[in-house]
Amino acid sequence: MAQPASSAIAARLLQDQFAAGLRLTKDLCLGANERARTGRNALTAFLGRIVSAGILYLTQVALARWMDAYDYGIYVFVWTWVLVLGNLSNLGLSTAVLRLIPQHRERQEQAALRGLMLGGRLVVLSVAVSMALIGLALLWLAGESLGGHYALPAYLALICIPIVTLTDFQDGIARARGLMAVGLLPPYVLRPLLLLACLSAAHVSGWAVNAQTAVGAAIVACLAAAIVQTLLLRRHWQRELPPGPRCYAVGQWFRTALPFWLILACDLTLQNADVLVISTCVGPAEVGMYFAAAKTMSLVLFIPYAVGSAMANKIATLQ
């Protein structure tokens, strides 16, 4: 008699757990409370990065098949520098807005919000353009020592730095308002999709798919993603924030952003220093193979990223 009773208890426990899971899923998908919205934002961020990783892996496979290992290594090296310089150029403001925007909204400081929206963009774009011009000067000074294969991809990649910086800053604006899809999907899903589409079109058309072609496709993808993200953000904020005077609290921006910028610099160093250092020791082909293998380990970072994206603006409103 004990065994049937134990089986019945186990069955009831399983049914209760299944019902609880259904209630939790329903609340997550349809709930209007703060917990449900935060859960949906975290899920959107996590799924967006997973989809992005899948597209990027597909792109890496396509690049490996369509171009030789040498050109692929050059593209990896150049694009790593774009990501490092592009993210550093926002001076930590892309993270600082996760604190500043919720605080301004909580205190009804609309003039400060308008100033941050416009002034923040102008600041990060100015820094990024300056960074690109410095890079241009350094490439010109390097001359023949850079190597002919690196020169054109490196020059083209400089165009991407201001675009990546703007996209990263606007990602922060969107996440600060809880607009995860607007912030994350253009740079992490649309951009790699467009990159893959451009490279596929080049391959089908019979063009040589090399490092120059890949960087050119990256320029198109970055620009299109930035335009889409800008239009979506403008559409939302026009409804919420009517035209009016602006207040540019630049000192407050940088006091808030500096610690985040230092953390970002350390994080970028941890994520990309290996590729940049290895590229000085081995050839582009080996760099490409290392990059493809090493990025597999970064998948585990998506979980804390998703939770942080969903919770940062909530925590800021409490301060």
Residues 167 and 226 sit within 8 Å (Cβ to Cβ): yes
Structural domains counted in the chain: 1
Mean pLDDT of 222-244: 88
Encode 41-53: b = buried (16+ Cβ within 10 Å), e = exposed: bbebbbbbbebbb
pLDDT of 51 reads: 74
- Does residue 69 fall inside a structural domain? yes
Statement: residue 316 has pLDDT above 50: no
Q: Look over the chain and give the mean of its residue pLDDT values, rounded to a whole number.
A: 79
Looking at per-residue confidence, does 57 or 295 come out higher? 57
* Angle made by CA atoms 88, 93, 94, in degrees to the nearest 5: 80
- Does residue 11 fall inside a structural domain? no
pLDDT tens digits, one per residue of 300-310: 555 555 445 44
- Rounded percentage of the chain residues whose pLDDT exceeds 70: 72
- Does residue 38 fall inside a structural domain? no
- Does residue 45 fall inside a structural domain? no
Statement: residue 172 has pLDDT above 80: yes
pLDDT of 73 reads: 83
Mean pLDDT of 169-178: 88
- Does residue 296 fall inside a structural domain? yes
Statement: residue 143 has pLDDT above 80: no
For the chain, state the CA radius of gyration: 23
Distance from C-alpha of 199 to C-alpha of 217, rounded to nearest angstrom: 7
pLDDT of 147 reads: 67
Distance from C-alpha of 303 to C-alpha of 158, rounded to nearest angstrom: 31
- On the CB side of 54, how many CA atoms lie within 13 Å of its CA? 7
- Does residue 1 fall inside a structural domain? no
pLDDT of 64 reads: 73
Looking at per-residue confidence, does 229 or 108 come out higher? 229
Mean pLDDT of 165-174: 92
Looking at per-residue confidence, does 92 or 282 come out higher? 92
Mean pLDDT of 52-70: 76
- Does residue 35 fall inside a structural domain? no
pLDDT bucket at 26, cuts 50 / 70 / 90? low
Give Cβ neighbours of residue 161 (< 8 Å, ≥ 6 apart).
Answer: 82, 85, 86, 89, 128, 131, 132, 135
Statement: residue 229 has pLDDT above 80: yes
- Does residue 21 fall inside a structural domain? no
Statement: residue 124 has pLDDT above 80: yes
pLDDT of 80 reads: 87
- Range with lowest mean pLDDT among 11-25, 242-256, 275-289: 11-25
Give me the phi and psi of 163, to 5 degrees please. -70, -45
Structural domain span for residue 78: 50-316
- Give the residue from 129, 100, 130 showing the smallest Cα distance to 117: 100
- Range with lowest mean pLDDT among 11-25, 47-61, 83-97: 11-25
- Range with lowest mean pLDDT among 23-37, 153-167, 185-199: 23-37
Looking at per-residue confidence, does 7 or 92 come out higher? 92
pLDDT of 28 reads: 53
pLDDT of 243 reads: 82
Name the strand (E) or helix (H) holding 179: none
pLDDT of 306 reads: 47
Residue type at 111 in one-letter notation: A
Looking at per-residue confidence, does 129 or 104 come out higher? 129
